Chains A and B, each alone.
Chain A
């Protein structure tokens, strides 16, 4: 079986349309800039938003495709690396493979739950574009970078997303949504904890490798915060779930760093949207007959 599978070869049927993060971020439209009277008071996903149902459906579909990619990523980590000792680069301890196998089992269950929740909310499989960035973070040739990028950064984001969705279900009175998100949240906390524990154990005698992994995590955190998707600002649809992150092994300083990175990313997204809108107008003017 092939090792180190490229993102453009993931198996999907014709219902899916995959887009990259670059394509996703090239959209010059944004609710973060422009006429303030047209902007919602808050972008946070709550049932009080007039478009709450549709936004929740879109986010649920994002969770669904994220679970598929997380399953694929954890499975690849079991297979891509030979069994070895913690300090030999390119191999992983057998116990780490067992954790990844357990995670793959969890993610498969999450995919099934997400399909059922999507049906419940009136969404069809593949109705929204699939952003493949999660699997891209799972393609590193260093298993420690995968743990940092996927288990700590992306599964950490999943903690924030599930917390937001659980609260949504609670406030809306949707018993299935609240229940399912709560159970999946419990698994995500475990996945992040596994990533934190293995990162510490594998890099115990290799501070340089640990620093490189944490730097990679920071990059992935920022990519996922780009667009202002997740931060402590009300301008972001998803909040930062500090308590659950603590349970998952993040220190207070680490959570503070993520909060800062997320807020900076939100500001960068606003600046980007302003530039992109100005560029689009300029290009349109240049191409229009005078």
Chain B
């Protein structure tokens, strides 16, 4: 069962039990093989999420990642699901093989991050999580270029399952300005 910190929030109206339930459902749906710990930083409205993988998967999320943008300081179930889902898929990719060559999270370029996010969100959509594909296409274009080549790469990554890091990186590079020049 997922542990959530803090158990009670001071700056935002978030529900730790709801976060825990969403994480548990995702752990089941994604076949994660180890316990998950979610630590929320409620002092910042930013939405960065980072993961630590050991015997336990620890997800460090800033409060903006779980927030309802329409109602500041309130929690959005959809945003919580999407943010935790992306983090857990990234953790699962690293744990299940094929991603051994991937740089550590802090060393990924913005282009690589956007490609991996695209790969994760595409899979979440097929699991039934509501996502706005155009939002992620826009993010991908910002990192790869506003070109037909970038859009083709996005479509391939979005609809893919079972990619290795090498395959993901190869499609992403081909869709970027560097790939176009090569």
User: For residue B110, which residue of chain A has the nearest CB?
Assistant: A50
Q: Given A31-B44, A122-B132, A122-B134, does the pair A47, B72 have CB atoms closer than 8 Å?
A: no
Instruction: Please tell me the size bucket of the interface on B.
Output: 20 to 34
User: Does A119 lie within 8 Å of B69, measured CB to CB?
Assistant: no
- A172 near B47 with CB under 8 A, answer no
CB-CB contacts below 8 Å: A86-136 with B: 119-124, 126-129
CA distance A29 to B12 in the complex (A): 9
Could you tell me if B142 and A280 are in contact, using CB atoms closer than 8 angstroms? no
A58: interface (CB < 8 Å): yes
Task: Give min CB distance, B48 to chain A, whole Å.
Answer: 7
Within 8 A of A (CB), among B32-61: 41-48
**Mask for B139-182, Cβ within 8 A of A = 1, else 0?**
10110011000000000000000000000000000000000000
Tell me, rounded to whole Å, the shortest Cβ–Cβ distance linking A197 to chain B.
38
Interface status of A30 (Cβ within 8 A of chain B): yes
Which residue from B10, B41, B72 sits with its C-beta under 8 Å from A19?
Answer: B72
By a CB distance below 8 angstroms, the chain B residues around A175 are 146
CB-based nearest A residue for B144: A173
Chain B residue numbers with a CB within 8 Å of A54 are 47, 135, 139
Judging by beta carbons under 8 Å apart, are A119 and B134 in contact? yes
- Cβ of B137 under 8 Å from chain A: yes
Complex: how many Å from CA A283 to CA B8?
Answer: 13
Give A288's nearest chain B residue, CB to CB. B8
User: Can you list 23 residue pairs at the A/B interface with Cβ under 8 Å?
Assistant: A23-B72, A27-B11, A27-B45, A29-B44, A31-B45, A48-B110, A51-B46, A51-B47, A54-B139, A122-B136, A122-B137, A123-B135, A126-B70, A127-B70, A128-B69, A129-B71, A173-B145, A174-B141, A174-B142, A277-B11, A280-B10, A283-B10, A288-B8
User: What 17 new A-B contacts, CB under 8 Å, besides A122-B137, A122-B139?
Assistant: A17-B70, A27-B73, A29-B12, A34-B43, A35-B43, A50-B48, A50-B110, A51-B48, A54-B135, A119-B134, A121-B135, A123-B135, A127-B69, A173-B145, A173-B146, A174-B142, A280-B10
